[in-house]
Structure 1
Amino acid sequence: MTEKRKGARSIKDIPPDILEQLNRGEIETANLTEWLAVDQRRLLENLLLQNNRAHYLKPILENVDRLKKQTVNTVNETIGMGLLHLAVQNTDDEFLQKLPTHPADLVRCWAAYTIGRNPDLPLKEKLKRIQLFAADSHFGVREICWMTVRPDISRNLDESLSVLSEWTRHNNENVRRFASESTRPRGVWCEHIDALKQNPGLGLKILEPLRSDSSRYVQDSVGNWLNDASKSQPEFVVEICDEWLRESPTKETQYIIKKALRTLRK
């Protein structure tokens, strides 16, 4: 079964039939190598042809061609934004509704942008709809989806932290991890959240419920969150780590603290 593929270690080793299926949107990528190998232009063309939306192709590809730097992420965002713009222009909600459950992970990434960057959706509604992507089984979709709403989270920090604090009790570890990862003060591949760099205590409503989380995936994110904060507010991080060790000296908490203090201990 293709679902259990481990994926090739280098792009040249990807079997031609697998690459063809990926570009047709029939299967999802098995690892980062395949994720980088997908021809998003071809995937887009195939998606649009399959859904009788071929007239959407040219304007989106023109936007891709105008990109100063074409990376997997910039192309991904440009396609997602292009699909949103054209669907809104053509009152084509029917097409947008098909994308979040598409077999291809990169199509689901585009779908996340059609929600996360939709200016007509209020923040609470965006986050409610993005939770489907936060829970996605694919690593790529989970990484892209928090980036799509990161600007909104930054602009509406209090409201975002309030909503996401409820996600920390979710039974899906991917959803819990989203609450932490999307609010990291420095983050990865994204703009920093200055308010959290200066006052990381604002994020405790997210971090406290996760300090002994059973999931290593969540633990890594919480440790990275605090490590981010240690670069601007080291005393705060040391204080929190000391407090957590006193109050919940579990192996989970100890793992998080080791990760949180790694920059300070260098």
Structure 2
Amino acid sequence: MADLEKLRQRKGAVRRSEVPASVVTAIHRGELETVNLVEFLVVDHVKLFQGVRSTLALDDTSAKQIQAKIKKLASEGVTQRLVQTGAAFHEALAESDHRETVYQQMATHTSDIVRNWAAYMDTADAKLTFPKRLQRARKFAIDPNMGVREIAWMAVRVPAADKIVSDIEKLYPFARNKNHLARRFAIELSRPCGVWCKHIVPLKERPEIAEELLTLCREDSSKYVQDSVANWLNDASKSRPEYVQDLCDRWLSETDSPHTRRIAHRALRTLRKKA
């Protein structure tokens, strides 16, 4: 235990070759989460599954089915491996009485990658309504691990991008949440040009759809949220420059908040370069 506590205080390696063997072993046992992208990329998902298998209420048939699918994903990109592994869990446990038990075990697991698998189990569940997806994603949205927080919004956006447009008011409670991570989740989820996922064309064409959501966070004291709002608007400035300029001008005329000034300055960076 003492060794694990010491490892948890580590700084992530800069190169894959520099990740200590003890760290890799503990990650594959599910005893440690990764602390940066370099560590994330050295993980063998088959070994990780084998390492955490005993901590999950899986029957042998389901476990074999999931492991076989993970082996086939070795040549896929990182995101696709996570997406398809989550889908493998969903498919193997779709009719199982233990599905929710396994899901909860994964969603609260020490391993950040196992928590990612849980998030993508929900992505694969076509029966989930948009409000239910948001409810189940909240724990991932406020996860201490940055990688899990990124997966949180992607896991909802992939199957429900249309609902982000038609039911955007469902994100308002997140934008009003006391937890800045929940507020940031609402903004990242709705970005017109989301990173690592398909763009939401209606929001690129009509960013005013999200104006009330963005306004809820225009004076946010958290730089993490400020950056998200600014990035949202910077995205929109590439397709609707006049709208973004006008919105920032209006915000600045309505409040003298330094937080709003910072957001507006960062939101207009692409337009300044073009000018």
1:30 aligns with 35
Q: CA RMSD in A?
A: 1.8
Shift of 1:105: 0.4
Question: Superposition pairs for residues 55-94 of structure 1, below 5 Å?
Answer: 55-64=61-70, 70-93=76-99, 94=101
Give the TM-score normalised by structure 2.
0.90
Q: Does 1:5 pair with 2:10?
A: yes
Q: Does 1:175 pair with 2:182?
A: yes
1:245 aligns with 252
**1:77, 1:110 within 8 Å by CA — same for their partners in 2?**
yes
Amino acid across the alignment from 1:137: P
Which of 246, 260, 268 is the aligned partner of 1:261?
A: 268
- What stretches of structure 1 of length at least 5 have no aligned partner? none
1:215 aligns with 222
More displaced stretch, 248-257 vs 214-223: 248-257
Give the TM-score normalised by structure 1.
0.93
More displaced stretch, 139-148 vs 111-120: 111-120
Shift of 1:240: 0.5
C-alpha distance in 1, partners of 2:238/2:230?
13
2:232 aligns with 225
**2:49, 2:67 within 8 Å by CA — same for their partners in 1?**
no
Amino acid across the alignment from 2:123: G
**1:227, 1:263 within 8 Å by CA — same for their partners in 2?**
yes
Relative to structure 1, the CA distance from residue 22 to residue 65 in structure 2 (aligned partners, 3 Å threshold; closer, same or farther) is closer
C-alpha distance in 1, partners of 2:102/2:74?
29
Question: Superposition pairs for residues 93-112 of structure 1, below 5 Å?
Answer: 93=99, 94-112=101-119
For 1:184, what is the secondary structure of its paired residue?
coil
Moved over 4 A (4+): 64-69
- What stretches of structure 2 of length at least 5 have no aligned partner? none
C-alpha distance in 1, partners of 2:109/2:142?
15
2:121 aligns with 114
1:51 aligns with 56
C-alpha distance in 2, partners of 1:138/1:178?
13
1:132 aligns with 139
Amino acid across the alignment from 2:49: L
